[in-house]
Amino acid sequence: MSDAELQEEEREVLSSIYDGDPAFRQLTATTFQYKYGDDGDPKTFLLEISWGETYPTEKPKINMDTFYNKHILPEVKAHIVSEIDKEAEQYLGAAMTYTLFEFVKERAQDLMSAQPESTVTSISSAVENISLADSQDSPVIKKVVKKEQLSKAQKRKQWDRVDAKGDRPRGWDWVDVVKHLSQSGPKQLETLAPSTGS
């Protein structure tokens, strides 16, 4: 079988195995992702495997530099990629994407052992320390006021109500004279007409 035929066969196998699995995504015909761990967990990560033109004769490209993995230390990413690369070496010439995803699933705890539990808290505490040091130097603390966020329709409606200076148009609160007279005018004329005729 040619590499293209092997890729097509593996693509079908992957879609049938991971059908309904929310952690698996096929981005293109040759790029697949699998998410390990739960959202919010500091040890969760996304593994991306891309096939070259001669895959499975050559190893696939392992990518850990997705935006989802921004919280992972570069050393941990490099360790994961090198471990997967070593594992892929023994499967050259055969379909290996499923095997690599499962290898990482089984060893996810070991692969992420160098990742600290709370990178976010250590960064936020460092920021707090810096802001405390700054606040001791400067007695004036400015409070940031957040502007109200309006939708496009709300903004358009506001602009329709005001002129270029932000003022309401002249006469916006005037009473409609014609409407007012049509409601009150004829009644007064009827009462006045009989008294003048006598």
- Residues in the chain with pLDDT values less than 50: 120-122, 125-127, 133, 198
- Which domains, and CATH codes, for the chain? 3-111 (3.10.110.10)
C-alpha to C-alpha distance for 108 and 122, rounded to whole angstroms? 23
Position 121 scores a pLDDT of 46
Position 170 scores a pLDDT of 75
Position 122 scores a pLDDT of 46
Position 181 scores a pLDDT of 74
CA–centroid distance for 169 within its chain: 42
Position 195 scores a pLDDT of 54
Nearest to 32, CA basis, from 135, 117, 104, 122: 104
CA–centroid distance for 46 within its chain: 15
CA–centroid distance for 91 within its chain: 36
Pairing, β 31-36 against β 24-26: antiparallel
Query: What does pTM read for this prediction?
Result: 0.56
